[in-house]
Structure 1
Amino acid sequence: MSRDWLADDRADLAAERILDAAARLFAERGVTAVGMGDIAKAAGCSRATLYRYFENRQAVRLAFVHRATRRIAAGIFQQVGSIEDPGERVVTAMLGAIHAVRADPMLIAWFRPGESGPAGRISQDSDVIESIAGGLFTTDALTDPERSRLARWLTRIIVSFLAAPGRDDAEERAMLEEFVVPVVTRAVV
């Protein structure tokens, strides 16, 4: 293996390098087709080194999704920060997340036919994703369990739109406004 791998003395840099390699492979081959050996080879490290940072393929997938989610969420929160109406805030945030994923070949690869299973499982089991989605609701009208359920439901809708897109942006917006906004408005008022 290359000596420059050993020069990376910070674990976070090594993990980022591994995740970058995994991202490229996910986009090229599909999420389910990529194994730990593939990731190690693409990252320029040994399998043993890879396993020091990630215990298994699911751990790599989870770290990749969390990294992408945090990046997208930062942009979304800037985008919706000044929107007071809870319905419009949620619709704008959801459409922004959908557009961000669709625009990134490394992310949309998770939603190709036959690939959305891992994304769906991660999205529903991730405290990070739930916390970010729940952050859209700054009201005291929701208890923590209610906020958590609402966040998981909204995440399911986003995953659904990514796996089975609407006809166009207008149709997706109309669906969110018709079916999601009434639920969100009732929940936060």
Structure 2
Amino acid sequence: MSWVDRRTPAVERILDAAGELFAERGVEAVSMAQIAAGAGCSRATLYRYFPDRPTLQLAFVQREAVRVGALVAAERPRDLAEAIVAALRHVRANPALLAWFGDRDAAHTADLAQGSEVVEAIGLTMVTDADSARWLVRVIVSLLTVPGADAAEERRLVERFVVPVVAQSRTHR
């Protein structure tokens, strides 16, 4: 059963509490006991919905990827470069998401980012090809982990190196 099937007020409260703690302490520094306390529930309740920390972390990332994908889509970006820059901006504006890209947590984030729900929620809002979507999520994670000097530089890099590769992949299917 996926996290989407379990979206209840209790699950939302737990994921919200987890996000606040991730922003404060870093992703790997947060325990299940701290999340239960932050959500105002017992550990038994927390474990009823999330049998372990990796499951909870994945549910959080999936939920937030859906949110970021919806925000990007709502902006109706004119082109792929604008969509990628928008995704970067939305992640950086959310302290709970930004925590996933610090030195201690970036490798774990890179692993989670390749999950199908994340690719669908972000990558497939930008392109229709699943391989290109997976690659775009990797590009976004890379830019969040090792940012450019500023937004203008990142856009320039995306326009010069990412957009042409995606365009070329569409013609070579």
* TM-based fold match above 0.5: yes
Q: Which of 78, 84, 108 is residue 74 of structure 2 equivalent to?
A: 78
Q: Deviations over 1:75-116 (max 9, x none)?
A: 2112236x3xxxxx2211111010111111111011112211
Name the counterpart of 1:7.
Answer: none
- Which SS does the other structure have where 2:8 is aligned? helix
**Does residue 113 of the first structure (1) align with residue 95 of the second (2)?**
no
Name the counterpart of 1:188.
Answer: 170
Tell me, in whole angstroms, the C-alpha distance in 2 between the residues paired with 1:76 and 1:154: 14
Q: Which of 95, 99, 104 is residue 94 of structure 2 equivalent to?
A: 104
| TM-score of the aligned structures, taking structure 2 as reference length | 0.89
Tell me, in whole angstroms, the C-alpha distance in 2 between the residues paired with 1:119 and 1:173: 22
Cα contact 2:127–2:133 (8 A) shared by 1: no
Number of residue pairs matched? 165
**Does residue 12 of the first structure (1) align with residue 8 of the second (2)?**
yes
Cα contact 2:124–2:133 (8 A) shared by 1: yes
- Which SS does the other structure have where 2:41 is aligned? coil
Cα contact 1:80–1:92 (8 A) shared by 2: no
Name the counterpart of 1:58.
Answer: 54
State the identity as a percent.
46
Stretches of structure 1 lacking an aligned partner (at least 5 in a row): 1-9, 84-88, 139-146
Tell me, in whole angstroms, the C-alpha distance in 1 between the residues paired with 2:163 and 2:103: 29
Name the counterpart of 2:3.
Answer: none
Name the counterpart of 1:152.
Answer: 134
Change beyond 3 A, Cα 1:188–1:80: farther
**Does residue 131 of the first structure (1) align with residue 113 of the second (2)?**
no
| Bigger Rg, which one | 1
Please report how far the alpha carbon of residue 137 of structure 1 lies from its aligned counterpart in structure 2 after TM superposition.
2.5
Tell me, in whole angstroms, the C-alpha distance in 2 between the residues paired with 1:117 and 1:34: 16
| TM-score of the aligned structures, taking structure 1 as reference length | 0.82
- Which SS does the other structure have where 1:152 is aligned? helix
Cα contact 1:22–1:39 (8 A) shared by 2: yes
**Does residue 167 of the first structure (1) align with residue 149 of the second (2)?**
yes
Stretches of structure 2 lacking an aligned partner (at least 5 in a row): 1-5
Please report how far the alpha carbon of residue 37 of structure 1 lies from its aligned counterpart in structure 2 after TM superposition.
1.0
Name the counterpart of 2:36.
Answer: 40
Name the counterpart of 1:69.
Answer: 65
Please report how far the alpha carbon of residue 11 of structure 1 lies from its aligned counterpart in structure 2 after TM superposition.
6.2
Give 4+ residue runs of structure 1 displaced > 3 Å after superposition: none
